[in-house]
Structure 1
Amino acid sequence: MARESPVEIPNLHELLIQEVVDYAIYMLSPTGEVISWNTGAERIKGYSEAEILGAHFSLFYTDEDRIAGIPARALKTATESGRLAAEGWRLRRDGSRFWAVVVLAAIYKDGEVVGFAKITRDMTEQHAAQVAALESERRFRLLIESVTDYAICMLDPAGYVTNWNAGAERITLYRSADIVGCHFSDFYTDEDRQLGLPALALLAARTDGRYATEGWRVRRDGSRFWANVLLDPIQDSGVLVGFAKITRDLTERREAQLQLEASRQQLFQAQKMEAVGQLTGGLAHDFNNVLTGIIGSLTLIESRIAAGRYDGLSRYIAAAQGAAGRAAGLTHRLLAFARRQTLDAKVTAINDLILNMGELVQQTVGSRVTLSTDLTPNLWAVRCDSNQLESAILNLCLNARDAMPSGGSIVIRTINQRIADRAARDLRLADGDYIAVSVTDTGTGMAPEVIARAFDPFFTTKPIGQGTGLGLSMIHGFAEQSGGRARIASEPGQGATVTLYLPRHSGEAPDETLPEPEFEASYESRRGSTILVVDDEEAIRMLVVEVLSDFGYVCLESWDSDHAIETLRAHPEVRLMITDVGLPGDMNGRQVAEAARTFLPDLKVLFVTGYADSAVIGETFGDGTRILGKPFSLDVLINQVNDLCA
């Protein structure tokens, strides 16, 4: 077959070819003998020009290639096609092998082959790297395919499965032949597909670089399993080419979690029922006592009045009031435990408070107990509810007395204390200045398991009927509401110390205690003021209206929020609204006050409630708002009303 030669090597290029060292460039005769040799050929193959000229080029081939006749086929292919490109192992002079990339071109003259130009490049390093990469890929593929604990599959950019490992087959029950080409959303539940979760998963992985989730997935047989899923995007030169998806079956762990949660709920219910039992055992006993006192006193008053006998009524009235006060104390303890009592926080001089209550405490604990104080001079001021603090100290002293049935000593101490770093973390307090108020006794002490539960509501070591288990929980609640903490230090037989940590107040000096205005003060400036009383308890409305009317106020009544708004719109002369926080109707007391002030901006408000905190009332009403906790004495009510209507 006659054709023109596609390759010509002019003599002008010989010097250039000789200078090339990265390529072996040489000429062959028509039968394959070497007739020229450049510097690159000598460097790559190791033969000098004198050694190799006249030798057959098959000398560079391996024995197996020569036996297979590859050199002869190379010349034949180049002759027939004009060119041959190939890769393979070749030999150097020292017998070592290298990976050669070869181009063999036929040279024609007058349509006849007069020789061959041969170019060889040593690609051993590149070939080794390629082989290593292929081997690594092969091993990785074998590793992935052999993993059975994880479902590992590849998705194309649209979410269709492109490959599938043994773990995926074991977990989902789909064989590779069944699932390749299907969309990965087949594993989702019907409800998740309706919500579009598969598409959201692909979007999240593409946007965030990874998507991790847990949820129910569906096997081939329709059964569900709890899956932990990782979805990673795969990119090539910044272009998304697919996703790698790894799924783990965590059904057993999920079922264990659900069982644990159910057990926790059962334990919580059991603890709640235990608390209710303790409450009915101790608290109900105390309430029955005070109710007996109230009912008995009122019955005697009624019978004396019916008989026209008025002597001694004041004694029965005092007994009923005292019993009612003890009942109020029990509800306050409950509210303190729940952290829901309304605190009347004022700047308090604690040392003065302790000294002023010393005689009361001594009388309460009895003569067999020695009471002493160790008070730090120049004690920092505290902003707290002084009545609650007084009640807390008294309760601690009573507990101390009960821990010393044969007598002993109680010491009330105060100290300024800086608490920071580890000490603050141990006490769960912010770094800062605190006043520590402690009550120490020489009693029986507490075991660690008792200390661990001492602040729990209704927990008590006393016999039924001798304690409600609310005293320490009330103290703990008061301390936390005041921004502090309560802590117990004790050992069996070594007495106990209960310490209240209260944050230092760095503002103004302690407030002076001002006497309440006398009942007999002049009310002329307020006489005739209109007041709206809002409460769903008819008895409470009746009492409030009666006492306010006696002091010259004009009273209107409402029993729910809707009627209250109607009344306020119909009577713009209302100066003060007294309202419970919890009301029937569409609004609570706070919302009624807010709505009313949109059309009566100067309306004063007195919230009267048995269950309130500042979060319910809020801090948005300004000076024209007060809070009065139930139960309350009528003289306190009158003083609050007089002050608001002044």
Structure 2
Amino acid sequence: MLERWGGSQDGNAHAAWESAPQAAILRSADWTASTLGPPAGWPRALRAAAMQVLDSTVPMWLAWGDDLAMVYNSAYAPILGSKHPQALGAPLRQVWGEVWADVGSLVESTLAGQALYRDDMELRVQRGGGEETAWFSFSYTPLRDDAGAVRGLLCTVWETTDKMLAQRRLAASESRLRALVLASTNASYRMNADWTQMLEINGQGFVADTSVPSASWIDLYIPPADRAGVLAAVRQAIDTRSRFELEHRVVRTDGTLGWTLSRAVPVLDGAGQITEWFGTASDLSESKATQAALRESERQFRTLFDSIDEGFCVIEFLDGPHGPLSDYVHIAANPAYLANAGIPDVVGQRVRDMVPQEADGWVEIYRNVLLSGEPVRFERELVRTGRYLELAAFRVEPVERRQVAVLFQDVTKRHRAERALRELNDTLERRVAEEVAARSKTEEALRQAQKMEAVGQLTGGIAHDFNNMLAVVIGSLDLLGRRFVDGDPRARRYVEAAKDGAKRAAQLTQRLLAFSRQQPLKPEAVDANKLVAGMSDLLRRSLGGAIRLETVLAGGLWRTHVDPHQLENVILNLAVNGRDAMGEHGRLTIETANCHLDERYAAEHLGLAAGQYVLVAVSDTGTGMSPEVIAKAFDPFFTTKEVGRGTGLGLSQVYGFVKQSGGHVKIYSEVGQGTAVKVYLPRLLGPHQDDNLAEPQQAVPQGDSRELVLVVEDEPAVRQLSVDALTELGYRVLEADGAAAALRLIDAHPDIDLLFTDVVMPEVNGRKLADEALKRRPQLKVLFTTGYTRNAVVHNGVLDPGVQLIGKPYTIEELATRVREVLDAPRRAQKA
């Protein structure tokens, strides 16, 4: 080498340098930019070291000079990667700046004259466009100049990255293998090449561990009955150099027999010869026990499947034209399926083919079971066979199987019995509820009736005495006016004022009687349209000019059978109430209509019969009533008017009259919107005569001095007044204070034409007196008078047929008219 380079004076040395093949790498660099300068000018020691580097087949480099400029051979260039060829002539620290912190101290030690070696040193290097981890084994040797001074260093390097990565992979693999062996529940073992010795075994608690080679493993681990089979399988694996695999019984650590699946693979050397066996043994004891239990369970299931009375099937869902999971097919069904469902040969049948009309319902139920995993119990009718089924369904796991199991039985008989029982219970409950409701209504009605009865009894007692007193007052005023005040206007005014007050007192008593349904009614066929039309002038005068009156009268209105005078009072009463509710302005509407109250409506209103009714409704646009006010509106003496403007008997009178007439009354009202009172009166069926036209007002009829009237009255003042009034009217009069005296007079005076008797008398009432008198004198005419009837001549609120009655108090004009009507009536019409 030195000869080829020659001395510094030898020009051939330069030619050798330029022409050497190893120097080709040097020619690829621009040495003018390097501190080393062109190679031709390098010192002898540097040229000699450089040629040594270039001649080596091992990766080598040197660094020379103050900045340690690099020279390296072609074997080293791959280690540099993308740093080549720029690294030629570049400072060492610049080239390997990323690892200088790791090697800088080593370089310094070498420059100090200390050679060193490092094996598999890990470094993070920059090459190939990125940073990566690499390992290197290298030696650093000081480089000296001709004077023996260290001017650089020489490095021989081997990159061991592949080796280190392989070692790491091997270590990781071995670690994973150890972890796998330790983590596995399987036992692991090693056998020698011909299985004459078990080298080691990790039994995992399943079989006994051993780390000492054992030649008696067959006796220790394999029960005698299984040894021949195990050895035969071992021999076949050895002969074929193939995997050993066998299920066999094994002696477990507790001395009991278990089952194992043993697998072993041969480890071959380079010549393909078996060096040892590595194997695992899985504990199949529980699996075998489970399989045995499963076989037993399957046997029991099959026995149960074939013998149970309940139907059983397994269905599997399918995707169909109706969408995903929109159909299912029967994949299993027991013999009882037919007996319970009534459909044969269902296995293989799709539900949409079996029961197309009801398939959607069945699919929805079982699809929910499949998707939710929640079992379900239900009853449902299988319409195709008309059977009611009690069913239980649950999902067959896993869900990917799309299967649902169904157990069911025919409960048609029970269902029908239960339905019949439910219907009976419902009927009983409904009847009990209806009975309770009816009883509640009855009790409420009874309380109302008792309240009315109490008021009625009080009213009757008051009315009898009060009307007798009013009869005396009114009669006396009538006689006073006729006999003594004709010439004195002031006295007549006083008499008329007193009579007006007495009449208003009589009207108050009459309202009390109306509420308690004690007033005697004279029903007749009434055309409500004509009655309302005839009241128009009276209503307009009562309402005043600021209230607009409207009537809506139905065409073809039915007739009703009521007392027309009382109906007029009802309409007038409701109109006046509406006027008071509206104030100065408003609209009052009177409407008539034919209507039908059905059974349902009638059932909700105690005492109301379903049927046809004539409706008379009075509506106003007034202030309206709250529900609380409506609930009390018909109570006697209840009023919302200020003191002095109402007695609280107006609506009570309406209620009493309507109920006494067999009708119904209902209030509809809303606060601020107005009120409608609807009166329903029974339709008059059958033939009837038209209403008699009102006769024109005539003079007070007088008696014939030959006609004899017997007055029977227990009250002396009333009796005397009646005698005086009849005498004033021109009749001959006899008087009696009771029934006994009256009968004696009747026997003594066969010329008596009229028996004028009070109804309510002590011991024997007027009705019984009349009955006895008519037995003696069948042609005798009778006129009753009373302030309170007590059902003597009035029943169900209506005068008995043929009975003639004048209520107390009465005016002399009213008395004259009624006496004349009775005396002039044909004899055949008279009836006691």
Amino acid at match of 1:491: E
The one of 489, 495, 502 aligned to 2:681? 502
* Match in the other structure for 2:671: 492
User: Would the aligned equivalents of 1:590 and 1:617 in 2 still touch at CA under 8 Å?
Assistant: no
Q: Tell me, yes or no, if structure 1 residue 451 matches structure 2 residue 630.
A: yes
- What is the CA–CA distance in structure 2 between the aligned matches of 1:402 and 1:457, rounded to whole Å? 18
- What is the CA–CA distance in structure 2 between the aligned matches of 1:621 and 1:553, rounded to whole Å? 27
- What is the CA–CA distance in structure 2 between the aligned matches of 1:417 and 1:620, rounded to whole Å? 28
* Match in the other structure for 2:695: 515
Q: Where does 1:319-330 land on structure 2 (aligned, <5 Å)?
A: 319-330=497-508
Q: Does the C-alpha gap of structure 1 residues 511 and 613 become closer, same or farther in structure 2, counting only changes over 3 Å?
A: farther
* Match in the other structure for 1:213: none
* Match in the other structure for 1:591: 768
* Match in the other structure for 2:553: 375
User: Would the aligned equivalents of 2:785 and 2:807 in 1 still touch at CA under 8 Å?
Assistant: yes
* Match in the other structure for 2:619: 440
Q: Tell me, yes or no, if structure 1 residue 357 matches structure 2 residue 535.
A: yes
Determine helix, strand or coil for the equivalent of 1:552. Answer: coil
Deviation of 1:589 (Å): 0.8
The one of 763, 778, 796 aligned to 1:601? 778
Deviation of 1:621 (Å): 7.5
TM (normalized to structure 1)? 0.51
- What is the CA–CA distance in structure 2 between the aligned matches of 1:364 and 1:596, rounded to whole Å? 47
Provide, for residues 56-92 of structure 1, a one-character-per-residue CA deviation record: whole Å limited to 9, x for no partner. xxxxxxxxxxxxxxxxxxxxxxxxxxxxxxxxxxxxx
Q: Does the C-alpha gap of structure 1 residues 305 and 556 become closer, same or farther in structure 2, counting only changes over 3 Å?
A: closer
- What is the CA–CA distance in structure 2 between the aligned matches of 1:394 and 1:479, rounded to whole Å? 14
Determine helix, strand or coil for the equivalent of 1:456. Answer: coil
- What is the CA–CA distance in structure 2 between the aligned matches of 1:621 and 1:518, rounded to whole Å? 28
Provide, for residues 407-462 of structure 1, a one-character-per-residue CA deviation record: whole Å limited to 9, x for no partner. 21110100011222212323442222110001001111111111111111111122
Asked which structure has the greater RCO (Cα within 8 Å, sep 6+), the reply is 1
Amino acid at match of 1:511: D
- What is the CA–CA distance in structure 2 between the aligned matches of 1:522 and 1:381, rounded to whole Å? 37
* Match in the other structure for 2:650: 471
Q: Does the C-alpha gap of structure 1 residues 480 and 557 become closer, same or farther in structure 2, counting only changes over 3 Å?
A: same
User: Would the aligned equivalents of 2:736 and 2:742 in 1 still touch at CA under 8 Å?
Assistant: yes
* Match in the other structure for 1:313: 491
Provide, for residues 18-43 of structure 1, a one-character-per-residue CA deviation record: whole Å limited to 9, x for no partner. xxxxxxxxxxxxxxxxxxxxxxxxxx
Larger of the two Rg values belongs to structure: 2
* Match in the other structure for 1:565: 743
Q: Where does 1:10-159 land on structure 2 (aligned, <5 Å)?
A: none
Amino acid at match of 1:359: D
User: Would the aligned equivalents of 1:445 and 1:495 in 2 still touch at CA under 8 Å?
Assistant: yes
User: Would the aligned equivalents of 2:663 and 2:680 in 1 still touch at CA under 8 Å?
Assistant: yes
- What is the CA–CA distance in structure 2 between the aligned matches of 1:396 and 1:532, rounded to whole Å? 42
User: Would the aligned equivalents of 2:581 and 2:623 in 1 still touch at CA under 8 Å?
Assistant: yes
- What is the CA–CA distance in structure 1 between the aligned matches of 2:487 and 2:612, rounded to whole Å? 61
Q: Does the C-alpha gap of structure 1 residues 516 and 324 become closer, same or farther in structure 2, counting only changes over 3 Å?
A: farther
Deviation of 1:272 (Å): 7.7
- What is the CA–CA distance in structure 2 between the aligned matches of 1:358 and 1:436, rounded to whole Å? 18
Deviation of 1:406 (Å): 4.2
Deviation of 1:591 (Å): 0.9
Determine helix, strand or coil for the equivalent of 1:403. Answer: helix
Q: Does the C-alpha gap of structure 1 residues 349 and 622 become closer, same or farther in structure 2, counting only changes over 3 Å?
A: closer
- What is the CA–CA distance in structure 1 between the aligned matches of 2:484 and 2:701, rounded to whole Å? 31
User: Would the aligned equivalents of 1:342 and 1:613 in 2 still touch at CA under 8 Å?
Assistant: no
Q: Does the C-alpha gap of structure 1 residues 342 and 305 become closer, same or farther in structure 2, counting only changes over 3 Å?
A: closer
Determine helix, strand or coil for the equivalent of 1:568. Answer: helix
Q: Does the C-alpha gap of structure 1 residues 522 and 455 become closer, same or farther in structure 2, counting only changes over 3 Å?
A: closer
* Match in the other structure for 1:155: none
Q: Does the C-alpha gap of structure 1 residues 384 and 310 become closer, same or farther in structure 2, counting only changes over 3 Å?
A: same
Q: Does the C-alpha gap of structure 1 residues 615 and 520 become closer, same or farther in structure 2, counting only changes over 3 Å?
A: closer
- What is the CA–CA distance in structure 2 between the aligned matches of 1:467 and 1:621, rounded to whole Å? 34
User: Would the aligned equivalents of 1:369 and 1:408 in 2 still touch at CA under 8 Å?
Assistant: yes
Q: Does the C-alpha gap of structure 1 residues 529 and 406 become closer, same or farther in structure 2, counting only changes over 3 Å?
A: closer
- What is the CA–CA distance in structure 2 between the aligned matches of 1:549 and 1:602, rounded to whole Å? 23
Q: Does the C-alpha gap of structure 1 residues 531 and 430 become closer, same or farther in structure 2, counting only changes over 3 Å?
A: same
Q: Where does 1:132-531 land on structure 2 (aligned, <5 Å)?
A: 310-428=488-606, 429-506=608-685, 507-515=687-695, 518-519=698-699, 526-531=704-709
Q: Does the C-alpha gap of structure 1 residues 532 and 467 become closer, same or farther in structure 2, counting only changes over 3 Å?
A: same
User: Would the aligned equivalents of 2:613 and 2:681 in 1 still touch at CA under 8 Å?
Assistant: yes
* Match in the other structure for 1:142: none
User: Would the aligned equivalents of 2:701 and 2:820 in 1 still touch at CA under 8 Å?
Assistant: no
Q: Does the C-alpha gap of structure 1 residues 405 and 520 become closer, same or farther in structure 2, counting only changes over 3 Å?
A: closer
Q: Does the C-alpha gap of structure 1 residues 346 and 633 become closer, same or farther in structure 2, counting only changes over 3 Å?
A: farther
Deviation of 1:397 (Å): 0.9
- What is the CA–CA distance in structure 2 between the aligned matches of 1:435 and 1:382, rounded to whole Å? 7
- What is the CA–CA distance in structure 2 between the aligned matches of 1:324 and 1:364, rounded to whole Å? 22
- Paired residue total: 359
- What is the CA–CA distance in structure 2 between the aligned matches of 1:500 and 1:614, rounded to whole Å? 26
Amino acid at match of 2:678: T
- What is the CA–CA distance in structure 2 between the aligned matches of 1:354 and 1:415, rounded to whole Å? 12
- What is the CA–CA distance in structure 2 between the aligned matches of 1:517 and 1:443, rounded to whole Å? 38
User: Would the aligned equivalents of 1:535 and 1:579 in 2 still touch at CA under 8 Å?
Assistant: yes
Unaligned runs of 5+ in 1: 1-263
User: Would the aligned equivalents of 2:758 and 2:784 in 1 still touch at CA under 8 Å?
Assistant: yes
Determine helix, strand or coil for the equivalent of 1:645. Answer: helix
User: Would the aligned equivalents of 1:341 and 1:613 in 2 still touch at CA under 8 Å?
Assistant: no
* Match in the other structure for 2:297: none
Q: Does the C-alpha gap of structure 1 residues 482 and 492 become closer, same or farther in structure 2, counting only changes over 3 Å?
A: same
Determine helix, strand or coil for the equivalent of 2:741. Answer: helix
User: Would the aligned equivalents of 1:381 and 1:510 in 2 still touch at CA under 8 Å?
Assistant: no
Provide, for residues 584-606 of structure 1, a one-character-per-residue CA deviation record: whole Å limited to 9, x for no partner. 2x211111111222212222111
Deviation of 1:517 (Å): 7.3
- What is the CA–CA distance in structure 1 between the aligned matches of 2:490 and 2:712, rounded to whole Å? 36
User: Would the aligned equivalents of 2:619 and 2:675 in 1 still touch at CA under 8 Å?
Assistant: yes
TM (normalized to structure 2)? 0.40
- What is the CA–CA distance in structure 2 between the aligned matches of 1:541 and 1:500, rounded to whole Å? 41
Amino acid at match of 1:588: N
Amino acid at match of 1:466: R
Amino acid at match of 1:600: R
Instruction: Give percent identity, aligned residues only.
Output: 44
- What is the CA–CA distance in structure 1 between the aligned matches of 2:541 and 2:700, rounded to whole Å? 33
Note the aligned Cα RMSD (angstroms).
3.6
Provide, for residues 240-271 of structure 1, a one-character-per-residue CA deviation record: whole Å limited to 9, x for no partner. xxxxxxxxxxxxxxxxxxxxxxxx9xxx99x9
Q: Tell me, yes or no, if structure 1 residue 645 matches structure 2 residue 823.
A: yes
- What is the CA–CA distance in structure 1 between the aligned matches of 2:718 and 2:765, rounded to whole Å? 17
Provide, for residues 167-214 of structure 1, a one-character-per-residue CA deviation record: whole Å limited to 9, x for no partner. xxxxxxxxxxxxxxxxxxxxxxxxxxxxxxxxxxxxxxxxxxxxxxxx
* Match in the other structure for 1:84: none
- What is the CA–CA distance in structure 2 between the aligned matches of 1:543 and 1:617, rounded to whole Å? 25
Amino acid at match of 1:552: G
- What is the CA–CA distance in structure 2 between the aligned matches of 1:518 and 1:435, rounded to whole Å? 34
- What is the CA–CA distance in structure 1 between the aligned matches of 2:799 and 2:776, rounded to whole Å? 17
